[in-house]
C-alpha cells in the first residue's frame, strides 16, 4: 500500500465518519467506494469492516441510552441465519460487481413506501431485516439504505434510529470481516491481511468524525434528517453506478 493510498484512506475515514455521524449511513458507502478503487476487494472489505466497527461502535456508545436492545436481539437472530447461508454459498463479488451492488442499494431509498410495509418494530420484521441486511452487507460491504427501509416508518426518534442502527452494524461488519478474511488467510497467511497500524491510525479519526457529526445531528430536526439522508445517498449511488459502468 503506497503512502498516497494510505493518506487518502485516512482522510476519507474522517470525512465519511462525520457524514455517518449525522445520518447513520452514506459515509460507509462512500468509504467502501474509495477503498475498492485503491486496494483489492477482499482487503477493502476487511479495512472497511474494521473501521466501521469502530465508527458504529463509538456512535452506539455515544447514543447508548437510545438503543432499542429488543430490536437488536431479534435482528441478531436473522443475522445468524444469513451467516449460515453465506458460508454455504461462499460467493464473493469482484470490484465491478461491488460498485454495482453499492449503486443499486442506494436506489432503495426511493422505493415507494406504499409498496412495502416495513417497520422493524413489527412482528418478525427485525428478524427479516437481520437476514437481508446481513446478506447484502457481507457481499457488497454496505447495506445502510436497505436497513433504513425498516426504520423509516417507525415512530422512533432520530437518536434511537441512529443508535439502534449503529449497534446492528457492529454485528454486520464483524461478520463481514470474518467472511472475507478466511480466504485471504487460507491463500497467503496472516501477513496478507491489512496492516494493524492502518486500523489503529484510523481509530482516532473515526471517533473525531463521529463526534463532530453527532454535534450536527443534535441541531437537526427529524424531518430534515430523513430528507437530507435520502438525497445524499442518491447522489452517492449515482457515482457508484457510473463506476460500475466504467464511466468514472
**In degrees, to the nearest 5, what angle opens at C-alpha 234 toward C-alphas 113 and 245?**
120
1: number of Cβ within 10 Å: 13
One pLDDT digit (tens) per residue for the chain, 248 residues: 788 999 999 999 999 989 888 876 678 889 999 999 999 999 999 999 999 898 889 889 989 999 999 999 999 999 999 999 999 988 899 999 999 999 998 888 787 767 777 899 998 999 999 999 999 999 999 888 788 888 877 889 888 998 999 999 999 999 999 999 999 999 999 989 999 999 999 989 988 998 898 888 888 777 677 677 778 888 888 999 999 999 98
Q: What is the per-residue pLDDT for 21? A: 80
Largest CA distance in the chain: 50
Q: What is the pTM for the complete model shown?
A: 0.89
pLDDT for the residue numbered 113: 67
Q: And the C-alpha cell for 39?
A: 486496494
CA angle 46, 49, 35 (to 5 degrees): 65
Distance CA(8)–CA(90), nearest Å, equals 31
Domain boundaries, the chain: 3-244
Residue 25 has what pLDDT? 67
Give me the pLDDT at residue 106, please: 85
User: What is the chain written as a DSSP string?
Assistant: --HHHHHHHHHHHHHHHHHHHHHSSSHHHHHHHHHHHHS-HHHHHHHHHHHHHHHHHHHHHHTGGG--HHHHHHHHHHHHHHHHHHHHH-----HHHHHHHHHHHHGGGGS-GGG----TTSTTHHHHHHHHHHHHHHHHS--HHHHHHTTTTS---HHHHHHHHHHHHHHHHHHHHHHHHHHHHHHH-GGGSPPHHHHHHHHHHHHHHHHHHHHHHHHS-HHHHHHHHHHHHHHHHHHHHHHHTT--
Amino acid at each position: 500500500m503506497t503512502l498516497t493510498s494510505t493518506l487518502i484512506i485516512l482522510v476519507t475515514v474522517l470525512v465519511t465518519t462525520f457524514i455517518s455521524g449525522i445520518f447513520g449511513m452514506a459515509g460507509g458507502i462512500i468509504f467502501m467506494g474509495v477503498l475498492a478503487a485503491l486496494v483489492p476487494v477482499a482487503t477493502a472489505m476487511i479495512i472497511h469492516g474494521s473501521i466501521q466497527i469502530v465508527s458504529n461502535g463509538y456512535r452506539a456508545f455515544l447514543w447508548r441510552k437510545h438503543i432499542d436492545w429488543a430490536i437488536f436481539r431479534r435482528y441478531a437472530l436473522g443475522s445468524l441465519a444469513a451467516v449460515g447461508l453465506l458460508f454455504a454459498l461462499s460467493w464473493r463479488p469482484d470490484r465491478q460487481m461491488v460498485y454495482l451492488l453499492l449503486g443499486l442499494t442506494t436506489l432503495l431509498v426511493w422505493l415507494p413506501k406504499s409498496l412495502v410495509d416495513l417497520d422493524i418494530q413489527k412482528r418478525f420484521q427485525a428478524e427479516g431485516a437481520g437476514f437481508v441486511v446481513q446478506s447484502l452487507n457481507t457481499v457488497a460491504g454496505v447495506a445502510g439504505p436497505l436497513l433504513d427501509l425498516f426504520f423509516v416508518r417507525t415512530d422512533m426518534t432520530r437518536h434511537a434510529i441512529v443508535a439502534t442502527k449503529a449497534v446492528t452494524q457492529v454485528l454486520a461488519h464483524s461478520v463481514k470481516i470474518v467472511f472475507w478474511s478466511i480466504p485471504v488467510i487460507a491463500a497467503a497467511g496472516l501477513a496478507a491481511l491489512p496492516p494493524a497500524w492502518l486500523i489503529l491510525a484510523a481509530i482516532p479519526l473515526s471517533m473525531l468524525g463521529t463526534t463532530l457529526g453527532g454535534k450536527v445531528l443534535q441541531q437537526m430536526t427529524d424531518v430534515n434528517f430523513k430528507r437530507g439522508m435520502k438525497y445524499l445517498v442518491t447522489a452517492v449511488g449515482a457515482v457508484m453506478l457510473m463506476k460500475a459502468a466504467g464511466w468514472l
